[in-house]
């Protein structure tokens, strides 16, 4: 296999079959439903009943077990049955559990689908194919550094060299290839993961996903994720502002909870992106063209942008309370 053919193989691996996409979406939907039915509903009922001493009604006129609850919060009373405080009165809230936890439910489903399809065979595994693509692409880059023009034999030699390398050999490869030691270590773990048994892939699925996140996702989707955070913050600011202006009734908090959970999930995704993003050391000498080709480019303004986002949210919160 010549290098041109290997690039064609990489391009082919970027195309997903209908079966892969359908299976991924099916797992995501089923996992989301199970999370909602067996986690969200029981946890919400427990929270209202035990923590707020509230009465939850899920059946009746205009009520639905999935989309509309009636939550009656009774005032605290003493042993004689008298209300402890005159300010405490019966409060009734209408809670939509599906809307309130929709972002978290969706994130859980997508995470399960990603983990599930990562351990499936490449023919039907959506994420598995992405991991295989990045492993092959990274091996081609290493082979190009070592041999220049290369074929299938050289790829096998590079793969065996990395897998069999001990700590001393990996440091030698770091100096020879001018590639960070951590990148070589992550590639080694990914190769061992893809060649292991099904049980081994299940328990060490993080080794494969880590390579994909580090070599592709953080490079291609860091800015889109940051943009989604700003969109989520804008939605949260608008909803909290409408709540402060009484356009959203106090007895219907589900929309506010939806905005909070949406921003929470987006911040978690961005945190994962930052965790797997390569560290850019500005104090050291610039990396060579070979190392830059292997690692890609990263953004250096993420921390400043996150700080501005948090300041904007705090300021909007204070203004709505006033």
Sheet order of strands, 54-57 included: 54-57, 69-73, 91-95
Domain segments of the chain: what residues?
A: 3-15+124-211, 18-122, 221-321
Task: Please state which of the ranges 42-56, 82-96, 213-227, 255-269 shows the lowest mean pLDDT.
Answer: 82-96
**How many whole angstroms separate alpha carbon 145 and alpha carbon 159?**
13
So what's the pLDDT on residue 118?
Answer: 94
So what's the pLDDT on residue 10?
Answer: 59
**How many whole angstroms separate alpha carbon 220 and alpha carbon 214?**
10
- Please give the residue that has the higher pLDDT: either 94 or 50: 94
So what's the pLDDT on residue 283?
Answer: 43
Tokens of 195: 């060649």
What does pLDDT average to over the chain?
82
Q: Judge whether residue 41 has pLDDT over 60.
A: yes
Rounded-to-10 torsion of CA 180, 9, 25, 200: -50
So what's the pLDDT on residue 137?
Answer: 87
With a pLDDT cut of 90, the percent of the chain lying above it is 40
Q: Judge whether residue 302 has pLDDT over 70.
A: no
- Please give the residue that has the higher pLDDT: either 120 or 284: 120
SS3 300: coil
- For residue 228, the tally of other CB atoms under 10 A from its CB is 17
**How many whole angstroms separate alpha carbon 101 and alpha carbon 86?**
34
Q: What is the pTM of this model?
A: 0.79
So what's the pLDDT on residue 206?
Answer: 92
So what's the pLDDT on residue 282?
Answer: 42
**How many whole angstroms separate alpha carbon 171 and alpha carbon 165?**
9
Q: What is the mean pLDDT of residues 66-79?
A: 77
Work out the angle between the directed axes of helices 181-194 and 152-164 (0-180°, nearest 10): 110
Task: Tell me which H or E stretch contains 158.
Answer: helix 152-164
**How many whole angstroms separate alpha carbon 21 and alpha carbon 92?**
43
Q: Judge whether residue 76 has pLDDT over 90.
A: no
So what's the pLDDT on residue 316?
Answer: 57
- Please give the residue that has the higher pLDDT: either 83 or 287: 83
- Please give the residue that has the higher pLDDT: either 73 or 188: 188
Highest mean pLDDT (candidates 26-30, 96-100, 177-181): 26-30
Q: Band the pLDDT of 156: cuts 50, 70, 90.
A: confident
Q: Band the pLDDT of 4: cuts 50, 70, 90.
A: very low
Q: What is the mean pLDDT of residues 39-51?
A: 86
Q: Band the pLDDT of 101: cuts 50, 70, 90.
A: very high
Q: Judge whether residue 319 has pLDDT over 60.
A: no
Q: What is the mean pLDDT of residues 88-98?
A: 79
The DSSP annotation for 164-230 comes to H--HHHHHHHHHHHT--HHHHHHHHHHHHHHTS-HHHHHHTHHHHHHHHIIIIIHHHSHHHHHHHHH
Beta carbons within 8 Å of 163's beta carbon, 6+ residues apart: 188, 191, 192, 195
The per-residue pLDDT for range 256-290, each reduced to its tens digit, is 999 999 999 999 999 999 999 887 654 444 444 44
Work out the angle between the directed axes of helices 126-147 and 18-35 (0-180°, nearest 10): 130
The DSSP code for 252 is -
Task: Tell me which H or E stretch contains 140.
Answer: helix 126-147
């Amino acid at each position: 296999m010549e290098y041109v053919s290997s690039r064609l193989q990489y391009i082919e691996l970027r195309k997903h079959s209908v079966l892969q996409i359908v299976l991924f979406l099916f797992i995501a939907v089923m996992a989301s439903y199970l999370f909602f039915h067996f986690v969200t509903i029981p946890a919400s009922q427990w929270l209202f009943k035990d923590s707020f001493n509230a009465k939850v009604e899920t059946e009746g006129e205009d009520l639905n077990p999935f989309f509309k609850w009636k939550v009656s919060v009774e005032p605290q009373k003493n042993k004689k049955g008298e209300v402890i405080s005159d300010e405490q009165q019966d409060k009734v809230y209408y809670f939509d559990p599906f809307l309130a936890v929709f972002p978290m439910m969706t994130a859980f489903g997508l995470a399960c689908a990603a983990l599930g399809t990562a351990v499936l065979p490449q023919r039907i595994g959506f994420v598995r194919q992405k991991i295989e693509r990045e492993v092959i692409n990274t091996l081609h880059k290493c082979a190009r550094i070592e041999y220049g023009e290369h074929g299938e034999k050289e790829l096998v030699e590079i793969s065996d060299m990395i897998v069999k390398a001990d700590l001393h050999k990996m440091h030698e490869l770091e100096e020879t290839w001018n590639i960070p030691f951590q990148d070589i270590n992550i590639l080694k773990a990914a190769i061992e993961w893809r060649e292991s048994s099904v049980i081994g892939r299940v328990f060490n699925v993080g080794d494969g996903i880590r390579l994909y996140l580090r070599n592709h996702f953080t490079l291609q989707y860091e800015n889109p994720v940051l943009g989604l955070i700003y969109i989520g913050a804008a939605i949260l600011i608008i909803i909290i502002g409408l709540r402060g202006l009484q356009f959203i009734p106090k007895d219907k908090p589900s929309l506010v909870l939806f905005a909070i959970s949406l921003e929470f999930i987006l911040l978690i995704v961005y945190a994962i992106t930052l965790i797997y993003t390569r560290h850019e050391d500005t104090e050291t000498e610039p990396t060579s063209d070979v190392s830059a080709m292997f690692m890609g480019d990263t953004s250096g303004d993420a921390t400043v942008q996150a700080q501005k986002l948090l300041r904007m949210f705090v300021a909007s919160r204070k203004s709505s309370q006033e």
